[in-house]
A and B are shown apart, each in its own frame.
Chain A
């Protein structure tokens, strides 16, 4: 069964540094998402991406965050200047092999644990 893959599994970064988290969505999917989960808290939506543009973003997704689909397979999340509070598990997900507003379920990757020192 095809899977969403994320790299690295664990990223340790100094505060103020830029970090890029990488995801390879399922190949025929059209919608891509990032979520995060701070330790002990619930999974929170960050951003969704469709047709090469952001379709929705949360309050968390401020100017420090950006997403990109640089080629036909990767989907990246960049944090420009990391803060201590960015430490969390970041999950990539993909869905939707057909139709706008498709209600196809989202498939999640294993996550990247981001630790800011």
Chain B
């Protein structure tokens, strides 16, 4: 079965500190990996996808196929980064669904 693990429910960091939100996925074909973010009282928004290899709002994520991980990183946390973050693989061949992790709440403290 396809499985996504985000081990931390809550991650608290101080402003300016580095952030790493962990995500491990089960291997099944060659999934495309996404990170979605949900700010307070707002919709789920795409943050980034691994094939684009771009940095959004200072966040990057590297796909490690050997470790089946797609950790989200940012060198210096900002207060506005406080939100729920969801890792979501999309498995090849389904044309369809995202499989969401349980999410990690990032809390950036002043």
Check if B110 is an interface residue, CB within 8 A of chain A.
no
Instruction: Write out, one digit per residue, whether chain B residues 87-110 have a CB within 8 A of any chain A CB (1) or not (0).
Output: 000101111111111110000000
Complex Cα gap A45–B101 (Å): 12
- In the complex, chain A residues 18-68 whose Cβ is within 8 Å of any chain B Cβ: 31, 33, 35, 41-45, 48, 50, 55-56, 58
Whether B100 contacts A31 by the Cβ 8 Å rule is: no
B interface residues (Cβ-Cβ under 8 A, vs A): 32, 34, 36, 42-46, 49, 51, 86, 90, 92-103
Instruction: Write out, one digit per residue, whether chain A residues 67-107 have a CB within 8 A of any chain B CB (1) or not (0).
Output: 00000000000000000000000010000000011110111
User: Chain B interface secondary structure, helix, strand, loop or mixed?
Assistant: loop
A contact residues around B93 at 8 Å (CB): 101
A contact residues around B43 at 8 Å (CB): 91, 108-111
Contact partner of A45 (CB less than 8 A), chosen from B51, B92, B98, B103, is B98
A interface residues (Cβ-Cβ under 8 A, vs B): 31, 33, 35, 41-45, 48, 50, 55-56, 58, 91, 100-103, 105-111
Q: How far is the CB of B99 from chain A (nearest CB, A)?
A: 7
Whether B32 contacts A108 by the Cβ 8 Å rule is: no
